[in-house]
Homo-oligomer: A and B are copies of this chain.
Amino acid sequence: MTEYINIAEVIGHLAGSLTTAAFLPQAIKVFKTKRTQDISLLMYIILCLGVGCWFAYGVMINALPVMIANGLTLVLAASILVFKLVSEKEK
């Protein structure tokens, strides 16, 4: 049974790493191009709220993969949100 649980742990860490890493290329693209027109502001507002809840959920059920993944994702998603807000203001 432990081996089965270890596979789930590995998948959880992989999932967390991928869904966190996914926001890096978008943050870099926005940082380089300073263009955010096609990016949905509402998406990143809701996403930051949701990822914040996932972080709290991870703390409450004491699941380290969920805490680490969502803590980092929040930093990346929030930086994209700030870029979007700044570029909206400059319009």
A interface secondary structure, majority? helix
Please tell me if A2 contacts chain B, counting CB pairs below 8 Å: no
The range of chain A's interface size is: 35 or more
- A72 to chain B: closest CB distance in Å? 12
Can you report 20 A-B residue pairs in the complex whose CB atoms are below 8 A from each other? A8-B61, A11-B53, A12-B54, A12-B61, A15-B50, A15-B51, A15-B54, A18-B50, A19-B50, A19-B53, A20-B50, A23-B43, A24-B43, A29-B43, A30-B38, A35-B37, A36-B38, A37-B37, A38-B39, A39-B39
Instruction: Using CB atoms and an 8 Å cutoff, list the residues of chain A in contact with chain B.
Output: 4, 7-8, 11-12, 14-26, 28-30, 33, 35-40, 42-44, 46-47, 49-51, 53-54, 56-57, 60-61
